[in-house]
A and B are shown apart, each in its own frame.
Chain A
Amino acid sequence: MENKNTVFTYLCIAMLCFLFSCTSVTVDQVKHKQVELIQGDSIVVIGRRSGSDYETEPDLIACIGTALSQASTALNVIPESDFVDRLYPWFEARTAPVHVQDLNRLLSYEKISRIIDDYQVQYIVWIDGNTEKTRSSGNISCGLSPTGAACFGFGTWDTKSEYEATIWDYKSRQLVGKVSSVADGTSYMPAIVIPIPIIAPVQRHACKTMATQLSDFFTNK
């Protein structure tokens, strides 16, 4: 009985270790000039979707936007979908400005500059990158028989989130800085009759750290 309890305790400790120790995040920041946000100014966070073999996830953009507006700095963040829909078709994957100078061409069009002015946009934050599975190993077999179904085995996989935020000053049409975040994590799935997924929240960590870095960036910390 005592043996069983010890095994159970070790198993719990191992699982907790898997849950909390298997994600590492590296952040980096470059600031070309001080930022200045005054009362009423807004920022917009948009995903760059021109990459041919990956796609910046819309839920990550929403996560960063929510985290920034809920942070202690309480930045006024315009939801990506609202901004992109109102300025359709100028911020679609193939039509969005790639360089900060391209804003001049776009803003020469009066209707567009009026909409952006309505939003009181001061900074445009472009997020580029994605989360992907980098390695997987192990094997899980499942069987179905008249007596029931069961799975046995063990699977593990590594996930990597790599994102870079480019911050444009809308009013001065300048690149003011860049923030990058790289998160790695390993997920496990032991299967003893039923599969138990222990998933490393890599993308969530990337979102939180990116939001914290951006928040510090905008408050000049």
Chain B
Amino acid sequence: MRAFTNILLIRVFLVTFLLSLLLISCKSTVDISGHFPSPTINQLPYSIGVIFNKKFSGYRYIEKSEKREKWEIGVGDAQVKMLNVVLKAMFSNMEVTSDFKSTSGNTLDLYFQPSLENFQYNVPYETKGNMFEVWLKYNMKVYDSQGQIIADWILTAYGKTPSEFLKSQEAALNDALVIALRDLGAGLSLKFTQVPEINKWLKKREKSNKESAKIVKNNIVNQIVLKI
């Protein structure tokens, strides 16, 4: 009788332990990682300094709603990685700076500072199409070499991925976020020169570059004439 009671107690303990483990593992944690290709675009002949503040590079979304599953999603590293790849392809020279000061000592033409304003996601039971969906809303700021703001605009990104049999929730959400970040890279690289203030700055800069080239050309001609 005593042996039976002991076995029963051990089993009750094991069941309680397993249930506790299940409860603990109810929180899903994911640090987004993926491959971000370099965009095939025309490069701008300017140098840019990119300012990633701590909030941006270490961005983690923690679900606080009592009505939803517990999620902790680390987006910071992935968005920094993607922007590094995209901005390197967009500009002839790109460097990461902590402030409006070049780390290499060179004068930079522009400074770029992104911030993630809003992060939203849906898991399959919340969507009609049994999908993981992600929305990202960024505020992009571009400054001139003196730190004066040139442009300030909103850029949104969206990614979705279907839930699959034998695919973990974390892997599916990771895929949706990688797609959203690729969408962000596409939006940034293709629409950057179309932002009215940036377009105006580029035209002004182009004009002044042409004038400088004309002055240099005239000086060379003058020097040749003087020598003759």
0/1 interface trace, chain A 78-106, chain B, CB 8 Å (1 if under): 00000001111110111100000000000
B183 / chain A contacts, CB cutoff of 8 Å: 92-94
Q: Which of B124-132, B136-144, B203-211 contacts A (4 or more CB under 8 A)?
A: B124-132
* Cβ-defined contact, A89 with B39, below 8 A: yes
B19 / chain A contacts, CB cutoff of 8 Å: 144
**In the complex, A42→B204 CA distance in Å?**
45
* Cβ-defined contact, A89 with B190, below 8 A: yes
0/1 interface trace, chain B 41-74, chain A, CB 8 Å (1 if under): 1100000000000000000000000000000000
B186 / chain A contacts, CB cutoff of 8 Å: 88-89, 92, 94-95
B158–chain A nearest beta-carbon distance, Å: 8
Q: Which of A5-13, A23-31, A51-59 contacts B (4 or more CB under 8 A)?
A: A51-59
The answer to whether A147 has its CB under 8 Å from any CB of chain B is yes
The answer to whether A146 has its CB under 8 Å from any CB of chain B is yes
**In the complex, A186→B221 CA distance in Å?**
84
Contacts A53-B129, A85-B35, A146-B15 hold; do A112 and B164 have CB atoms under 8 A apart? no
A-B contact count (CB 8 A): 63
The answer to whether B8 has its CB under 8 Å from any CB of chain A is yes
A95–chain B nearest beta-carbon distance, Å: 5
The answer to whether B161 has its CB under 8 Å from any CB of chain A is yes
**In the complex, A32→B151 CA distance in Å?**
49
* Cβ-defined contact, A85 with B37, below 8 A: yes
A109–chain B nearest beta-carbon distance, Å: 8
* Cβ-defined contact, B12 with A115, below 8 A: no
Contacts A55-B162, A85-B35, A130-B162 hold; do A90 and B129 have CB atoms under 8 A apart? no
The answer to whether A41 has its CB under 8 Å from any CB of chain B is no
* Cβ-defined contact, B15 with A55, below 8 A: no
Closest 8 CB pairs of A and B: A89-B186, A146-B11, A85-B37, A88-B37, A53-B129, A55-B162, A92-B186, A54-B129
List, sorted by A's number, 17 A–B pairs whose CB atoms are closer than 8 Å.
A53-B128, A55-B129, A55-B161, A57-B164, A85-B35, A88-B182, A89-B41, A92-B186, A94-B183, A95-B186, A95-B190, A111-B41, A115-B40, A130-B129, A133-B130, A146-B11, A147-B11
A sample of 17 more A-B contacts (CB under 8 A), given A86-B40, A94-B183, A115-B40, is: A53-B128, A55-B131, A57-B162, A57-B164, A59-B164, A88-B186, A89-B185, A89-B186, A89-B190, A92-B183, A94-B187, A111-B42, A112-B40, A130-B162, A132-B130, A146-B8, A146-B11
Query: Which residues in A have some Cβ–Cβ distance to B below 8 Å?
Result: 53-55, 57, 59, 85-90, 92-95, 111-112, 115, 130, 132-133, 144-147
Query: Which residues in B have some Cβ–Cβ distance to A below 8 Å?
Result: 8, 11-12, 15, 19, 35, 37-42, 128-131, 158, 160-162, 164, 179, 182-183, 185-187, 189-190
